[in-house]
Structure formats: structure tokens, C-alpha cells
Structure 1
Amino acid sequence: MTAMTALRQIAPEPAPASAPAGPELDWLLAGLQTNRFMPHPPPDSIFVGDGDYRAIGAEFLGHFVRIGRLMPHERVFDIGCGIGRMAVPLTQYLDPERGSYDGVDPVMDGILWCAQTITPAYPRFRFQRLDIAHPLYNPQGSLPGNEVRFGFANGSFDFVTMISVATHLPPDELVVYLQEASRLLAPGGRLFLTAFAIDGSTGQERLSFKRWQDGPGWYAIDEAPLAAAGIDASFLLEQAMQAGLTVEALRPGHWRGISAAHYQDVLIATKPGGRP
């Protein structure tokens, strides 16, 4: 199988029969945005990007179900969990007896808030800080990004998310993260990754990327290259496949100036060997 060299737009997959779908899912997502009893960190502590914390979390839960086929009983691993923006809505979706969630992040304040606020009410939601070095988020970190290995056994998860993580990694570190995601996925499990996947097309992009040296990486902000990092689409797809994943689609996002359901591009890749 050769790497796809252009982004593919596919129709949304129907939600699994045992998962909320249609009006039921729409009702859940709307409720997540308006329920004042849902956990919400102090506004000045949110370091995970612009936009409404609740609205973005609800949006991605919808993408996880509709695009990633996330089921309530599955085991979720959230790489770069930040301050719980994905975890909070998942508390209302994952089965409290069978589903589970593990999140890791290098920023201690986010992990502490999640562990103190979410875990006491949802004990199957667990959070761990890894001291991964990053020039923006953890400049004094002790673990180089290209040596990351998450402390879980092979095949521990059914669904691995990397939301706005690849957009802050250089290519050599992204390769390691893809390999780890593949290692951690059980057969049939899915990787849901967002990225700025540069494919050579031109349009009304909201970000203007420059190539990073002579490699597959790109950057949009001169003074902080890893604040908005792009990656060659062909490199991303090839590395996902070399990690042992089957690429289902790379869906273009509306950062390109096109109509799309999500801002960044979305990669969906599956660990082979699951049920047909």
C-alpha cells in the first residue's frame, strides 16, 4: 500500500448501533454546552487554545462518535489531555462500568485540575503527568520528545486521540507518537489525530506555512515554530502506515478556507486485526 498524496473527504460514518446517534447525540452535545454543573476550569487557567471550552469539547465528542466510531464501552487514551477539554464531555458518554479514559500531558497544572475535579466523580477517568520536554509547554522537561514511551501495555486501548498535538511537534517526535499510538491500540482500535497536513494545494488558508529546513515539517509563526506546526501529508500518511496502522482517511479542515466540520485536518487510522 502506498501513501495517499492528497487529502480525501469522506462522508461521515454512521454511528454504531449501540451508541447515541442522530437526535439523541445532538441532544447530548447541546446539553454539554449549556449544563452549568459540568466541570469547567477557571478561564485564566485554560492553556489549550482559543475558543469556548465547552463548545469545543462537545464538538469533538461528536467527531469521535460520528467520524471515529467511538463506542461507550471503549477504552480511551488521550495524548495531550491538557486541562480536560476532551475528558469532560466524555464523562457523559463513556459507560461508567465498561468504558475508561486515561489522559497524559506535560503541564502539571492541567493534570492537577483534572485529577482533583474529574477523577473523584468519575474514578475510571485517570490523569498522569509525563515530564516531556517542549519549548512552549514544558521547557524544563526531562524526557526528550523523541524518546517518549507511554507506560501502558501493548493493546491497552480501543481509541487513541491526539487533538492539536501533531500541530506542536517536530517530525521526528511525531513519528514516535504514531508508533506509540499503534503499539497501544488493540486490534480494530482507531487513532483520531488532528494536524495541519500540507499537501501542496493552495487556497484561502488561514495560516501561511513555511517549510522547516529541508524536511517534511512546516511552521507558521517565525518566533515560535512549534506554536503552529504543519507536516507533509504524504509523510504523515506514510509514517502512520509504517507504524502499523491502516489509514482510513485524512479529512481536510476549514483552516484551508473550505467548508468543513472541523478546523484542523483529521486523520483516522485503524490497527489491523479487528472484526470486519
Structure 2
Amino acid sequence: MTATLALRPAEPSLPTPPNDPGQQLDWLLDQVRTNRFMPHPPAENIFVGDGDYRAIGAEFLGHFVRIGRLKPTERVFDIGCGIGRMAVPLTQYLDPARGSYDGVDPVMDGILWCAQTITPVYPRFRFQRLDIAHPLYNPQGSLPGTEVQFGFPNQSFDFITMISVATHLPPEELTVYLNEASRLLAPGGRLFLTAFTITGEPTGQERLKFKRWREGPGWYAIEEAPLAAAGIEEEFLLSQTQGAGLLVESLGRGHWRGINAPHYQDLLIATKPENGR
């Protein structure tokens, strides 16, 4: 684990990290949440959802390490990197010489902020825009979501994140993304994906009320903008993940269901087999 390095001059009074390895991650997450020198985009430019930018980034870094088993030396690919909410905390965790990060997103403003703020200090953090068409985030995009191909060779990454990406995709596009993730993962690599998975009848405790969309495996919570909060049938998600050549490790329930859980959306962890294609 690397020491906390702000993207501006270091704060003189920054406390010393503990020697106990078991406490180092908690210390690092606290620094990500509270270090005022950590970069933060202007509030009006944050298009990646509600909540505290730094706190959510720190939360997911903890999930990446504890649930996804992310190591500092691994190669990370962040699909839908937005305006750096996952990238900023990862600058404090990934080894600056051996780890790496690549992020893609269709929203130019987010990519520009990340490329101008993060990459000059952390050159192994790279960002690129892919002009994917999306009715909410990039309505004039030139590339249909069913034709997405990320410009990296096979087995380029050890850890791929899709945070709040499946929640904005129709089922046929989600299948394409799963196949691309499988292609890009090295054997033993993990996919870390969040979703609203639909299982059976609602309990009435859910914070979002989904309705079936187009008689298929997709569901929506906002009728006038179905892809603002898209659900997916659990059976479809699992079958498409397995069909892409990944082994489903776990699917944890999120507290959007009205239950106690460490994360809001449901969380899928899938692994590329050691003998995977």
C-alpha cells in the first residue's frame, strides 16, 4: 500500500500510518475521506450520482480490497470512470511503479477533468473518452452500445470495475460489456460489477420500485427515463456472465432492497478461469 499522496502539496500535519497491516487500510480510507488536499471536482460538474464524492470513493476502495481482493500491483480497468470518483482513491492505493489504471467514459467533461488533474501527477493513470451513444449521458454518441469494443489487447487487466454502469444499460448492451470484460481479464482476474438485480416478487421494502421493461429481462424504476435506473433479472445477469466465460464468485444483496448491507447496489464478483480463453 502506498502512502497517501495528495495531488497538491502534502499536508504537514498528516498523521503517520499505523504499523499494523490490519489497520493500514482503515487508516488509508480515513485519509481519502478527510484529506482536504485530495482533488475534488466542482460540485456542479459531478454527474455520477448523489452522495459525498470522497466518502463514496473511499467506500468503494474498501470494497475493492476487502471483497474484490484488489492488490496494489494489479492493472485496473474502470468502465464508466465518470469524473474520477474511483480513480482518486485508487491513486493512494495502487503501487506507482507496478500498478496501473485505465478509465473510459462517454462524457468528455469527466475525462478532461481526470486527464488534467490526475494524470500529470500519476502518469500510470490514463483516461480516454469513448463516444458511446447513451440517451442520458451522451445522446449524440456515434457508437451504439451493442458495438462497444474497448481498445486494449486480450488479458490486459487483472481487475475490472463497472460501478453503476449496469444500472444504466439495456440487457443487450450489458451482454456486450460482459463479453468485453471477459476478453480483457487475465486468468484469475476479477470483474467487480454493481447492479439492481430483480428476483421474484418485490417485498415492499425496496427503495426503488421497478417495473418490467419491454417484456424482457430489463426493468425500470423511472418510466420517463428507463435507463436512469435500470434493473436486470438476476437469472439473466448470472447466465450472461457465465456465458461470457466468467465464473460467478458471489452476488451480494445491496441495501437498496431495504435490508442491512455494506453497499447500496447489489455486488457481483466474477473471476476469469485460469484456463480461460
Query: Same fold, TM exceeding 0.5?
Result: yes
CA RMSD of aligned residues (A): 1.0
Letter in 1 for 2:178: L
Once the two structures are TM-superposed, the CA of residue 74 in structure 1 deviates from its matched residue by 0.1
Q: Which runs of 4+ in 1 moved over 2 A?
A: none
Q: Secondary structure at the match of 1:187?
A: strand
Task: Decide whether aligned partners of structure 1 residues 21 and 136 sit closer, same or farther in structure 2, where only a CA change above 3 A counts.
Answer: farther
Query: What does residue range 34-183 of structure 1 map to in structure 2 within 5 Å?
Result: 34-183=34-183
Could you give the per-residue CA deviations for residues 93-135 of structure 1, whole angstroms, max 9, x where no partner exists? 0000000000000000000000000000000000000000000
Aligned equivalents of 1:21, 1:207: Cα separation in 2: 39
Once the two structures are TM-superposed, the CA of residue 201 in structure 1 deviates from its matched residue by 4.6
Could you give the per-residue CA deviations for residues 5-26 of structure 1, whole angstroms, max 9, x where no partner exists? xxxxxxxxxxxxxxx9532111
Q: Quick one: higher RCO (CA 8 Å, sep 6+), 1 or 2?
A: 1
Q: Secondary structure at the match of 1:206?
A: coil
Query: What does residue range 179-258 of structure 1 map to in structure 2 within 5 Å?
Result: 179-203=179-203, 204-258=205-259
Letter in 2 for 1:195: A
Letter in 2 for 1:179: N
Q: Secondary structure at the match of 2:176?
A: helix
- Structure 1 residues without counterparts, runs of 5 or longer: 1-19
Aligned equivalents of 1:164, 1:71: Cα separation in 2: 22
Could you give the per-residue CA deviations for residues 29-73 of structure 1, whole angstroms, max 9, x where no partner exists? 011011011111011100000000000000000000000000000
Q: Secondary structure at the match of 1:50?
A: coil
- Structure 2 residues without counterparts, runs of 5 or longer: 1-19
Aligned equivalents of 1:22, 1:69: Cα separation in 2: 14
Alignment-derived partner of residue 14 in structure 2: none
Alignment-derived partner of residue 11 in structure 1: none
Aligned equivalents of 2:202, 2:131: Cα separation in 1: 38
Letter in 2 for 1:135: P
Aligned equivalents of 2:214, 2:56: Cα separation in 1: 33
Alignment-derived partner of residue 265 in structure 1: 266
How many residue pairs were aligned?
Answer: 255
Q: Percent identity?
A: 81
Letter in 1 for 2:104: V
Q: Secondary structure at the match of 2:131?
A: coil
